[in-house]
Chain A
């Protein structure tokens, strides 16, 4: 136990994630000789770029103690907006701008209901999930739009440095900015403070409502940007675009050590978990596992990621108690209390 106390970083969640990531990478490299090829590495990122950038903002939202289930629907809505405007003869650049505004509006609607009317974000964004997807259906009905100009689809398809397209660099830049904001600015500290103790933050003079509002608007804008990347990557769009992405996104964030109750988690952990999930999916694709099985494996991983630390904590408490020679623990675990009384 002394050993663990002397090197506290061993017990950090990020260390475990790093070990898991190494295991996944080693396993994958055994599966295919092309795994460490630069094309495969570019592919890993390119194919999931829209999930990756939403993960960044979702980290903020969950640390803040809220959740945004509507991200995938906002992605679809924004993507359909640009498609419909392009179909009606507008330029793609203008359409993209409108799409981002649409995203901001969706985020502002979520934010108003959550921050100022005090309705739980789970409920608000659940309604948002249905409504924004519905809006996408109104726009595009059952048609699909394609034939976007080359420069537009090229942003996500054509490599600018080696095989890496511009979207990957946008993601890296956003990630770096998010890292700095979350760990080193007042706003980032506010996000943690509100997630830890909302009432305390209010008494400390933080404008809690405005912080939440800004986060949810940012969530809308970045989801809309992700929707644009989705159109660029596929070059064709339908109303059910990006359906169900919210599950993958939330899974990655929670796997990164962010607590669903808010207040805990780091950008580093989320970055590592993003790498794990993307590489794991890539490896399972190389091993010819079907998509649903891949999702199941990630589901198991998600549950274990919370279950194992809980067990570790229980075992550690047990050891502490035994080594201290204390027969009666200070605080009994919940289930023991329950069993004693029945």
Chain B
């Protein structure tokens, strides 16, 4: 047993695995408390909530990996949702691809502004994005003239997106929005693992000075991370529009807090350098499941926020206090194994 674990699991993966166990435990818990919990409709409701947070959290993960943070994502989501909704109301024949492209483009533009000021102006990211959080929201109010987009003004195809089924697994149908989220997670997980760009983001976050010495063009890459984060927030805006339909000037306000909470619960270090996109997705799943299940449980809706805050705190504390010990203990075992058999040093690490 021990040998099997040793061979197949690396220390860095303990975090994701324990998160998976927590998610499973929470689902079992709610399943035992709520009648008719394990039904396709529960799955749909939770997965479409999670989709929005996940897409935005993926971009946020890239930014946090570089030891920065983007607080303006909520405002970007709100602006793009209104902008695209407004354009669709004006030009109903707009091609769907163009609409999505528009959302990505507007978001990327906002991200570019953030990135340039952070990377080339050398202003701390938390200061810049605290400012742009207010500025982008102000732009939305100016642009919209305090009008709102209504579901009625939108073309039919966008209203159908949340109900579109991509494929079925048994009784569960995977709808379009979670499908988009999964694709985004897969793409960026692979980018982070296998591309130079991804590895360099980790390098910048682990030690900016060392990254500079190694010749990594940090300002370009940090800007790029912000642009991607903005673009994904734009995609989030499109998802928000498809799901909600009615967009007012306060759309997606405070979403940045949920997104950062998901990323942090997912084990991404707020000081950069460690964490995965997959972890951020699990964080989003955890938060989304708790939120939706509490609603289903008829727990008084006023308790929702308090419990959510407590859950986030428990998850983060468990990670820093308990898992830090587990990782230490694990590393000690590994070292002892190496010490015991001198020969094993010579063999490739996959065998050890």
Contacts and interface: CB of A to CB of B under 8 A. Distances in A.
Given A123-B316, A293-B142, A310-B122, A303 B131 contact: yes
Contacts of B135: 296, 299-300
A118 B321 CA distance: 9
Interface residues of B, number: 52
A303 B308 contact: no
Interface stretch (B30-38, B85-93, B214-222): B214-222
Interface stretch (A18-26, A130-138, A159-167, A268-276): A130-138
A247 B122 contact: no
Contacts of A133: 305, 309
A24 B209 CA distance: 41
B217 A339 contact: yes
Interface stretch (B44-52, B256-264, B277-285): B256-264
Contact of B309 (A132, A239, A334): A132
B117 interface: yes
Nearest to A342: B217
Contacts of A113: 313, 317
A141 B301 CA distance: 9
A330 interface: no
Nearest to A239: B302
A127 B316 contact: yes
B306 A135 contact: yes
B305 A307 contact: no
Interface in B130-147: 130-135, 137-139, 141-142
A74 to B, nearest CB: 12
Contacts of A254: 127, 130
B132 A299 contact: yes
A130 B257 contact: yes
Nearest to B121: A307
Given A338-B219, A342-B217, A303 B310 contact: no
Contacts of A239: 302
B271 interface: yes
Contacts of B321: 117
| Most central of A119, A123, A124, A135 by chain B CB within 10 Å | A123
Nearest to A307: B121
Contacts of B312: 126-127, 130-131
List the 10 closest A-B pairs by CB distance, nearest first.
Answer: A131-B309, A296-B138, A134-B306, A134-B305, A299-B134, A130-B309, A341-B215, A299-B131, A292-B141, A338-B217
18 contacts: A122-B270, A128-B309, A128-B313, A130-B309, A131-B310, A134-B303, A138-B306, A247-B133, A260-B124, A260-B127, A299-B132, A300-B131, A300-B135, A302-B131, A310-B121, A310-B122, A334-B218, A338-B217
Given A292-B141, A296-B135, A299-B132, 17 more contacts: A126-B312, A127-B309, A129-B309, A131-B305, A131-B313, A132-B309, A137-B302, A137-B305, A247-B133, A292-B142, A293-B138, A299-B133, A302-B130, A302-B131, A303-B123, A335-B120, A342-B217
